[in-house]
Chains A and B, each alone.
Chain A
Amino acid sequence: MENYIQNIELINQYLNKTLSEIETQNFENRLKTDSSFETLYAEHITFLEGLKRQQLRAVIVKAKQSYIKNKWFRYLGISIAVLIVSVFVYMNLNNTNSKKTDVQPEEINKTKVVLDSVKPEDIFVKDIIKVDTLKTEKVVDKKQGVKNEITRQKEIVAVKIPKKSPQKVTVNSQKDTTIVCNEGTKLNVKANSFVNENNETFKGKVDLNIIEYYKLSDMLLANLSTQSDGKQLETGGMLFIEAKHGSERLNLKPSSTIEISFPSKNKKEDMQLFSGAWQNGNINWKPENTRVIYDEELSNDIEAIEIIERDDTEVPFAVIEQAPIYPGCENSSTEFSKKCTRSEISKFVQRNFNTDIAANLGLRGRQRVNVIFRINQNGNVDNMQFRSSHPDLEREANRVIALLPKMQPGRQRGKAVSVPYSLPIIFEVEGTREFSAKIGSVPRVSLLTQDSIINKRFEDRLTGKDSIDVSVSEVNGYVLRTSKLGWINCDRFINNSNRIKYKLKIKDSENVIVNMVFKSVNSLMPSWRINGVYDFRSLPKGEAIVLVAIKKQNGKLYFDVVETKTEENPNIEFNFKEVNLEELKNELQKLNKQF
């Protein structure tokens, strides 16, 4: 034992390097010669290494823990940062928009009064043939960087679903204006069509706030639906329009109308305008009496007649070096694109010109509308002038020409210039005086392609077919007129003989809103909740539908959709999932395909 202790002590000293040089040498020699000593040494080293492992392991475990802690701190930090940013953004948006609430219900009441005061005499105002010069401004909306959201004032529950932001357009009330909105809606506002609250003609800047509802998700978020007194409608798009000057609300003059063109890929017949009013949380649409109203004061405005701006160079279409190019007519050969543009414009007018107007006016025989317009340096159509036997035809021509797409502007010596373009529209109205009984027969439109400005002869083949049936399905939008602002819907009634009552019972139905999306038609039906039963009233049987349920409780949003068919006594249970606003929007956008 004594010996052992001595040896271990010696080894420790050696390892700690406290031995003198001679002693060290002796030690090493002994390792080589004394095998039992060597074993002892090796054993001791092994022991020390084992001990070291123990220590090292403790360090590693500590390192691992701090690594994991760091990782979680990082995740935590990131999520907290994200949370703070989103809360901040959300609160900001809420602030900016809280002012814009509680406008709409009053608005609708007001517009109702306006409609009632439309005088029937207005319809028969005598009109002289006149040159109707329109100065058209295209107002391109600046998309607002921050998505504005308005809270809906209807909801008593704490959750606020942000409303779609309105597009703001400022127009001069003394000028004719065409507005093209983000989602394709075109508004044609005539000069001097606004009155203030005291029914005086308003002159000055008018702020138009327009909200477009074409997407299902937008409609669902605004809790919009398509029904008129319980009858199902199919929609071609909804709008909310309000006109303001500062805080003063403006209305349309009883005799004035706004022309609205709703874009649409598949045109359906019998579309008409409906105006909406909110009742018990659902919107009810009532058909507007679409009336033809003349505008007496149109040409009174001197400013509007100003035709040409001074610094505007004009080069007629027939002689221009590089003619304006209609979309799709881009070609290396200028001659080709010129021909193409000409024929495309002709085709477009042929397709869109509604000759029923002439028939409905009782006009018979060959009708002619002379149109002169200008394709300006931006490629937009302006300075339209019309001459025809009836102002309604001029109006229709105006409508069609205003619908022309933006073209590439014409160029002379490389510089964009304005190009005057003349286009006589000639068509024949067939049939007898009892025409109104035969709505099915479509008059033919033909265009005389003659550039009347420089009297150049055109090749006949440019006209393509000299007559084309105006086919309803080809028209790329619905054009309707309204004398009301507020909620506007372009709709038609859906008639279906096989109808059933559809009532849905839901457990836990507190604060739940259920809407029904139809897969086959653009229709969205609301439900009326009575004692926990959701009544959809009468619906066509066997339709594929999607039920969209949104629940708001304790400041949280829950959402679920169920795909099903309309059948009697449905048995459906919603499996609500909690969502945040962004998730709800995404979920609803997924449904957009259904429309």
Chain B
Amino acid sequence: MNDKKILELFKEGQREKAFRRLYSLYPKIEALIMSKGGQKQDASDVFQEALIILNRNLEKSDFKLTASFYTYLYSVSRFIWKDTQKKFSKEELHNFNDTEIEHFHNILEEKKYQLAEHAFLELGERCQKLLQLFYHKAMSFKAIAEVMQFKSEKIAKNQKYKCLSKVKDIYRNSKTFQS
């Protein structure tokens, strides 16, 4: 029914439309998080995270949605919330079933990317823009130099690598800091 349509939207690359439909499930997730002691803001963050994980999984060729979107998002959200609360006991970790293990891996993976994202956000505005133009918009250095008013293509290229090594430094630091 509705799920099929949403899946099609994802396949067609109309992610925004798909997410908009999935947001109709949000009130239920919100109720779940709030029943577990979270705030509205927490619920919003958790749901966003769950959507990101869902999206990443959908992009993997070997992923198959076995349950409805609602069931999937519900269990992932629950996992995320529990994880942020650091409430998994050792016993629970040992007794995870397959899907739970998968969720857990997804979350761990996502945390790594989250760090990278944070590192990126710590960059200066110009660096952020430069990297975004290069990686998202897939613009050539020549075009970037024009948009960002670098004197030459080469300066843009050098600037990009500087920004890139900077973000990786920040990432590495925060990673060691975390562990």
Residues of chain A touching chain B, judged by Cβ–Cβ distance below 8 Å, are 1, 4-5, 8, 43, 46-57, 59-64, 66-68, 70
Instruction: From the candidates B20, B52, B136, B167, name the one contacting A63 in the complex (CB within 8 A).
Output: B20
CB–CB A59/B136 < 8 A: no
Does residue B132 face the partner (Cβ distance < 8 Å to A)?
yes
What is the number of residues of chain B that contact chain A, defined by CB distance less than 8 Å? 36
Q: Which chain A residues border B24 with CB–CB below 8 Å?
A: 67
Q: Which A residue's beta carbon lies closest to that of B22? A: A63
Contact mask for chain B residues 32-68; partner A; CB cutoff 8 A; 1 contact, 0 none: 0000000000001000100110010000000000000
Q: What are 7 A-B interface contacts by the 8 Å CB criterion?
A: A47-B168, A49-B116, A53-B116, A54-B121, A55-B132, A63-B22, A63-B23
Does residue B113 face the partner (Cβ distance < 8 Å to A)?
yes
17 additional contacts (CB under 8 A) given A61-B48, A63-B20: A5-B161, A8-B161, A46-B112, A46-B116, A47-B167, A47-B171, A49-B112, A50-B113, A50-B171, A51-B117, A51-B132, A54-B132, A59-B15, A63-B17, A63-B23, A64-B20, A64-B23
Tell me the dominant secondary structure on chain B's binding face.
Answer: helix
CB–CB A51/B136 < 8 A: yes
Q: Which chain A residues border B55 with CB–CB below 8 Å?
A: 56
Q: Which chain B residues border A61 with CB–CB below 8 Å?
A: 48
Instruction: From the candidates B22, B118, B121, B168, name the one contacting A43 in the complex (CB within 8 A).
Output: B168
**CB within 8 Å for A63 and B19 given contacts A51-B132, A57-B52:** yes
Smallest distance from the beta carbon of A343 to chain B beta carbons, Å? 65
Smallest distance from the beta carbon of B124 to chain A beta carbons, Å? 15
Instruction: From the candidates B19, B23, B120, B161, name the one contacting A47 in the complex (CB within 8 A).
Output: B120
Q: Which B residue's beta carbon lies closest to that of A15? A: B135
Does residue B149 face the partner (Cβ distance < 8 Å to A)?
no
Contact mask for chain B residues 9-35; partner A; CB cutoff 8 A; 1 contact, 0 none: 000000111111011101000000000
Does residue B76 face the partner (Cβ distance < 8 Å to A)?
no
**CB within 8 Å for A47 and B164 given contacts A54-B117, A59-B16:** yes
CB–CB A70/B20 < 8 A: yes
Instruction: From the candidates A8, A50, A57, name the one contacting B164 in the complex (CB within 8 A).
Output: A8
Q: Which chain A residues border B118 with CB–CB below 8 Å?
A: 50
A142 to B115, CA, bound (A): 76
Does residue B114 face the partner (Cβ distance < 8 Å to A)?
yes
CB–CB B117/A53 < 8 A: yes
Q: Which chain A residues border B48 with CB–CB below 8 Å?
A: 57, 60-61
Does residue B131 face the partner (Cβ distance < 8 Å to A)?
yes
Q: Which B residue's beta carbon lies closest to that of A48? A: B135
Smallest distance from the beta carbon of B122 to chain A beta carbons, Å? 11
Does residue B165 face the partner (Cβ distance < 8 Å to A)?
yes
A8 to B131, CA, bound (A): 13
CB–CB A49/B113 < 8 A: yes
Q: Which A residue's beta carbon lies closest to that of B138? A: A16
Does residue B119 face the partner (Cβ distance < 8 Å to A)?
yes
A67 to B24, CA, bound (A): 8
A48 to B132, CA, bound (A): 10
Among B138-179, those with CB < 8 Å from A are: 161, 164-165, 167-168, 171-172
A50 to B121, CA, bound (A): 10
Q: Which chain B residues border A47 with CB–CB below 8 Å?
A: 116, 119-120, 164, 167-168, 171
CB–CB A50/B135 < 8 A: no
A43 to B136, CA, bound (A): 18
CB–CB A53/B113 < 8 A: yes
A48 to B119, CA, bound (A): 12
Q: Which A residue's beta carbon lies closest to that of B135? A: A51
A318 to B16, CA, bound (A): 85
Q: Which B residue's beta carbon lies closest to that of A62? A: B16
Q: Which A residue's beta carbon lies closest to that of B112? A: A46
CB–CB B136/A64 < 8 A: no
Instruction: From the candidates B16, B22, B51, B120, name the one contacting A50 in the complex (CB within 8 A).
Output: B120
Q: Which chain A residues border B167 with CB–CB below 8 Å?
A: 47
Question: Which 8 A-B residue pairs are closest in the complex by CB-CB distance?
Answer: A50-B116, A63-B19, A67-B23, A50-B117, A49-B113, A63-B20, A53-B117, A67-B20
CB–CB B120/A60 < 8 A: no
Smallest distance from the beta carbon of A65 to chain B beta carbons, Å? 9
Smallest distance from the beta carbon of B139 to chain A beta carbons, Å? 13
Instruction: From the candidates B15, B44, B135, B171, name the one contacting A46 in the complex (CB within 8 A).
Output: B171
Instruction: From the candidates B116, B136, B168, name the one contacting A55 in the complex (CB within 8 A).
Output: B136
